[in-house]
Amino acid sequence: MNARTARKEAKPRVPPETVVYAVGDIHGQLTLLERLVDRIQADASRHPSRRQVLVFVGDYIDRGPESAAVIEHLIRGLPASFEVHCLMGNHEHALVRFLADPSTMPHWLMNGAAATLRSYGVEPVDEEAGETAFQVCRDALVSAMPASHRAFIDSLPLVVEIGDYLFVHAGIRPGVPVAEQSRHDLLWIREGFLDCDEDLGRVVVHGHTPEPEPAVRPNRIGIDTGAWVYGCLTALRLEGVEQAFMQVCVDVGC
């Protein structure tokens, strides 16, 4: 048996005495986030001596009505017992770009910015309003956004590796080492990644592409179950070689 065959046959695992919970795209759905974190905390409390890791794969804002509150919860509302990794999503990157360059507002608006602006008490402008209006809107958001939120958004990493898993927002470009992946691919890729059945070196856990159920493939696990469109927020639970899912849905005690 060669090394490549052995790697394919071996089940991916996380480090010993470690449990990892990876949470999919939240998109301003605070109630779902709170309910899911409560379930995760209850599950983890059964084995308090283990290393407990909580990974969020990005897209905390836009589309849903409570984007600002979701950011606040991620900063201050998570259980202190967890090692937390919050990754950047393409929606957070769109916000960062807008704060640096207001002319990017039309692109952000097309991706759900109005909900985020309103969550900070800022009235959105039309995407054809012009650069002066975009500048005024940006300045209003800068004034309304707490410094802790700006620091949180600016500091988000793109990837984290734990055991045999790579966590990222959208995915990776097959055949490219992780250190050489482009930011655009890590935040936006679909074609070339979702349809890839090759060994990617790690099992890639990602969000970005909403589906009604988690997408489980030998080389990737998609955990964006459309909190804003399907009403369900999902966490992947990893312990040893075991993979399981936890989910909460709108008006459903699932």
15: Cβ contacts below 8 Å, ≥ 6 apart? 51, 162, 163
Contact at 8 Å (CB) between 254 and 248? yes
**Is position 122 within any domain?**
yes
Which residues form the domain of 57? 15-249
Per-residue pLDDT of 168-188, as tens digits, reads 999 999 999 999 999 999 999
**Is position 8 within any domain?**
no
Residue 105 has pLDDT above 50, yes or no: yes
Number of structural domains, the chain?
Answer: 1
- In 101-241, alpha helices (H): 105-110, 113-119, 131-144, 147-154, 183-188
**Is position 159 within any domain?**
yes
CA–CA separation, 119 and 241 (whole Å): 40
Burial group, residue 147, by CB count within 10 angstroms (0-12, 13-18, 19+): exposed
Per-residue pLDDT of 11-27, as tens digits, reads 999 999 999 999 999 99
pTM for the whole thing? Answer: 0.94
Instruction: Indicate which CATH number applies to the domain containing 36.
Output: 3.60.21.10
CA–CA separation, 149 and 142 (whole Å): 10
Tokens (6 digits) for 100: 């640096």
